[in-house]
Amino acid sequence: MIQYRPKMQLAGSSPGSSKAHNLVRVKILCSQPQFAMRRSIVRSLLFSSSSAVPATMAPLPPLLLRYLVVILIPLFLFFSSASAWKKDEFRNCNQTPFCKRARTRTPHSLPRLIVSDLLISDGHLTAHLQPSLSSEDDVSAGDTPHPRPLVLRLSVYQDGILRLKIDEDYSAPSAPSKQRFEVPDVVLPDFEDRRLWLPRVSSTEDGSISSLYLSDGFEVVLRHDPFEIQVRRKRSNDPIISLNSHGLFEFEQLREKKEGEDWEERFRGHTDTRPRGPQSISFDVSFHGAEFVYGIPEHASTSLALRATRGPGVEHSEPYRLFNLDVFEYLHDSPFGLYGSIPFMLSHGLKGSSGFFWLNAAEMQIDVLAPGWDDSAAAGNDRIDTFWMSETGIVDAFFFVGPGPKDVLQQYASVTGTLAMPQEFAIAYHQCRWNYRDEEDVATVDAGFDEHDIPYDVLWLDIEHTDGKRYFTWDRVLFPNPEEMQKKLTAKGRHMVTIVDPHIKRDDSYYVHKEATDKGYYVKDATGKDFDGWCWSGSSSYPDTLNPEVREWWAEKFSLKNYGGSTPSLYIWNDMNEPSVFNGPEISMPRDALHFGGVEHRELHNVYGLYFHMATADGLLKRGNGKDRPFVLSRAFFAGSQRHGAIWTGDNSADWDQLRSSVPMILTLGLTGISFSGADVGGFFGNPEPELLVRWYQLAAYYPFFRAHAHHDTKRREPWLFGERRTALIREAIHIRYSLLPYYYSLFREASVSGIPIMRPLWLEFPEDKKSFDNSEAFMIGEGILVQGIYEEGQKSVSVYLPGEQSWYNMRNGAAYSGGQTHKLEVFEDSIPSFQRAGSIVPRKYRFRRSTTQMANDPYTLVIALNSSLAAEGELYIDDGKSYDFEQGAYIHRRFVFSNGKLTSSTIHSASLREKKFSSSCTVERIILLGLPSAPKKAVIEPGNHETEIEPGPLTLRGGASSVALVIRKPNVRIADDWTIKVL
């Protein structure tokens, strides 16, 4: 009996169980679904501290206690197994000294920073930044009596981009021997080529302000005392973005440890030695003329616009945390950090858009400040102040002037890159589960899709396919013939994905471990030994992919020769690359672990996952001799991850709220460059009700990355397991995606060129429609399609706001709705509301196949929705869907324009400069016209002066479709050719 003590102590002595703390938790959780509520109640019962027990309470009789144990233990187990997020496992701002310090600071309380020694050198503007020494009551003066100056550098790039760097002055006499970490490999290599050579600085007469040319209509203003940077419009002098307007800039400079000083930080039994002491940076950034700010993933939220985290009206909130973490059963609405981090924020308002990106891979905390946070009476609605804090690194910040939201995205993309063009199969439907157990299971699931006429392109294998979680190996009992298995899928045009995580099993007989150990390729712990952490494979080490040599070595592991049992149709999934370390602080790697070049883990934590993702994608690229586009899905990400593959939102749960939050999460990823992303269909944890699963499929069919996935404790949920009706509904949802693949592929092409995401917030397309700014429920696919999710069980009707001035055509029944209005619509079981915008042409394919492979030669359908002037336009991009030949011009890119009763197809790029060509014999089998007031009977096709019929017809070929549109029957023109079709 006595052996129960440790457990009960454990429960009773919760370190953070002050009453207030519990209250806060309960409050936060109250908005959660039932299970979280239950849990919080039990917790507060179990964990209330002894002081909460009334003094009058007599000691419990012994037998009563025993009953309690008997009753509570099962309760405890029940709730804990159904419970979710482990809040106490993660540091909040108050438990994070740099954040706590910075957050309590008030505006202008620090010594003023003064700019001096301005110099144009090498086309940059450099200057020194030094605190004023005038104030004797300076608090921090005691720490650093004679602070070294900081070095400030401003550079200007094409298209309205300002780069600001602030770092230690390493040339100063007392400079630190070790440099601070600058994140390499994120900024595009050719970005420097776009730098504008600064000719001169113009200063005001009193020398208090210097200004720089930024781009047409925009300039940078550097105020010297106190230091402030402002990007503003030239003519009106209206500021757009400013830094240090509130005097919150602080840069903790590296220094020697003083005697008796304790730099160590402890959290939940983990000690961070912090050998280099405090080195954090914080500053304020203001977005002028902004109504909302967006971005800085990854956080789960039902709101696309970032909510204020501090100031009037905000009772209690953490700042948005950017720290890549493996969070078990994350909440659907919380500012705590998840698997990836992108320190890029955008603002938008009627006056325009702007963006701010801080290239820094250390832990970051960002406050969005509510108007009036600084007690200033002048708090206008016209400005959003934000406060940025980072544990270490340097200031390497980019300001984007916009002025349109798409301009900001393109400016950001010119720094960190656009998405890598995926293979066509990768943008179709993926079927995953932890785990498809063995070859028979794989065959059965594959056959299930055929049996139910549901297309899918990729079957996934999770960790259990390996031999004891040794990646690149197979459990040969369950998977005796992996090549054979993949060939069977390939025969139907399908692909396979296997998982490869960064934790390498510490097993001397495992070749990967042996090589990495021998070559010294692992991340080291603070003492210099190979870091040893616990993950799926048990005791594990992590390749130090910061080192290019390690990445090279890692990439080689994916060659067909090295990865036994792999075939060219096998692609890869990187999970746990935050990195997840089960027995590490906050389920990750200790911050004092050491990387290549003596870089501390704290300095690069948020970019570790990107490097691993990059090395894996390089591996696949090498495997295919640079001819086969890689597909690698990663959970962790950083700015620039879009260049290496797809991202998903990690281990979500099967509840309606998480379905809802998936949309703002994916939209936010898209705004910050990660266009190819999605959420697990159905929810990873838990069992979705069939209705939820169907709704999830209907929504996810529009996600850029469309994959169903489930935890191994959940019930099977392949699409045909919920009765005939639901099978039909899910089939229909998946078919919608397949029918739209030509449109999606064209949008992927656009994203890979311009950085404009596939799935877009409404305001990206309607930047002047104020009602769209805070819409988190609906989204655009490209310019032509608007989708409204259904996020409630048994929902009977929905209010849909349709932006803009043009009409919208319901894609279910062809009905027209006017724009700029909210429409209350009946909700149907068979689809979620989706609309084609008047004025758009959407290319589709109405033949259904097993997978994308068999669709290559199928004919197209063009759906034309005419606007009020009876015009419309759209694009179609086609290539081989696999190789890089498109880079040499082997593609077809058409523009379709309908005006004056005539549809014209013309090529967007001239063929003259092309080294390679792509040809297609595909034809257009059907053209659907919406919004034509008259009912013409015939169309004439040129060249050839060939006539074809026009007849009333359905919008889709399924579900008893009635004739709601006009259909040009079998024009049979080739998609690659120039032609016109005139409606008579």
Partner 1 sequence: MEIRLRFALLLTSFFVVWVYGATPIPNKQLLGIDPQDLSFYKSNVIKCKDGSKKFAKELLNDEFCDCPDGTDEPGTSACPEGKFYCQNAGHTPIKIFSSRVNDGVCDCCDGSDEYNSNANCTNTCWEAGKVAREKLKKKIETFKEGLIIRKDEVEKANNAYAKDEADLAKLKSDEKVLKELVQKLREQKERIDKLEEEERLKKEKEEKSLREEEEKSKEQEIKADETQIFDTMENHEQDGSTGNLDIAVESGTDNMVESKKASTQTEEQHVGEGHDDTSESSGGISQDGEISSYEVPKQDQDDSGSTEELSREELGRLVASRWTSEGADQTTDKIGNVEEDLMDQDSSVAHEHEGYTSETDDDRSKDDDDDDDNFEDDRDDEFEDDHSSSDASYIADEYEKPDPLDSIEVSSPTWLDKIQQTVQSVLQAFNFFKTPVNVSDATHIRKEYDDTSSKLSKVQSRISSLTEKLKRDFGKEKEFYFFYDQCFESKQNKYVYKICPFKQASQDEGYSKTRLGSWDNFEESYRVMVFTNGEKCWNGPDRSLKVRLRCGLKNEISDVDEPSRCEYTALMSTPALCLEDKLKELEKKLEQMNTRKPQGHHDEL
Residue 47 vs 744, nearer CB to partner 1:
47
Sign of the Cα torsion 640, 645, 649, 651 reads negative
CB of 428 to partner 1, least distance (A): 14
| Cβ 660 vs Cβ 336: under 8 Å | no
CB of 322 to partner 1, least distance (A): 22
End-to-end CA distance of the chain: 91
Q: Which of 816, 951, 976, 968 is nearest to 898 (CA)?
A: 968
Q: d(Cα 959, Cα 115) in Å, to the nearest integer?
A: 69
Residue 149 vs 533, nearer CB to partner 1:
533
Q: Which of 169, 272, 462, 651 is catalytic?
A: 651
DSSP codes of every residue in 245-277: TTS--EE----PPPTT----EEETTEEE--TT-
- Sheet (strand 677-678) strand order: 677-678, 646-648, 632-634, 570-574, 495-499, 458-461, 429-431, 706-708
Q: Which of 407, 424, 457, 575 is catalytic?
A: 575
CB of 269 to partner 1, least distance (A): 3
| Cβ 773 vs Cβ 303: under 8 Å | no
Q: d(Cα 138, Cα 466) in Å, to the nearest integer?
A: 60
508 annotated active-site:
no
Strand partners, 340: 637
Residue 107 vs 690, nearer CB to partner 1:
690
Q: d(Cα 312, Cα 709) in Å, to the nearest integer?
A: 41
CB of 514 to partner 1, least distance (A): 22
Q: How far is CA 901 from the centre of its chain?
A: 42
- DSSP letter at 50 equals G
CB of 971 to partner 1, least distance (A): 11
Alpha carbon distances (Å) from 243 to 223, 247, 655: 10, 9, 41
Please give the structure tokens belonging to residue 154.
């401003």
Residue 840 vs 853, nearer CB to partner 1:
853
Q: d(Cα 246, Cα 100) in Å, to the nearest integer?
A: 18
Q: Which of 219, 525, 530, 578 is catalytic?
A: 578
Residue 378 vs 491, nearer CB to partner 1:
491
Q: d(Cα 766, Cα 804) in Å, to the nearest integer?
A: 6
Residue 552 vs 713, nearer CB to partner 1:
713
Residue 56 vs 177, nearer CB to partner 1:
56
CB of 43 to partner 1, least distance (A): 7
Residue 671: count other Cβ atoms within 10 Å of its Cβ: 30
88 annotated active-site:
no
Element (DSSP H or E) covering residue 153: strand 150-157
Residue 684 vs 702, nearer CB to partner 1:
684
What are 62-67's contacts with CB under 8 Å, separation 24+?
none
Q: d(Cα 772, Cα 667) in Å, to the nearest integer?
A: 14
Residue 395 vs 587, nearer CB to partner 1:
587
575 annotated active-site:
yes
Torsion angle, alpha carbons of 937, 941, 944, 945, to 10: 40
Integer-rounded Cα Rg, in Å, for the chain is: 29
| Cβ 512 vs Cβ 557: under 8 Å | yes
CB of 850 to partner 1, least distance (A): 7
Q: d(Cα 250, Cα 138) in Å, to the nearest integer?
A: 13
- To the nearest 5 percent, what fractions of the chain are helix, strand and coil? 25, 30, 45
| Cβ 472 vs Cβ 574: under 8 Å | no
Sign of the Cα torsion 672, 676, 679, 680 reads negative
Residue 771 vs 958, nearer CB to partner 1:
958
Please give the structure tokens belonging to residue 785.
């399609």
Residue 771 vs 847, nearer CB to partner 1:
847
CB of 424 to partner 1, least distance (A): 15
Q: Which of 463, 522, 523, 451 is nearest to 497 (CA)?
A: 463
Q: d(Cα 346, Cα 670) in Å, to the nearest integer?
A: 12
**Residues designated as active site:** 575, 578, 651
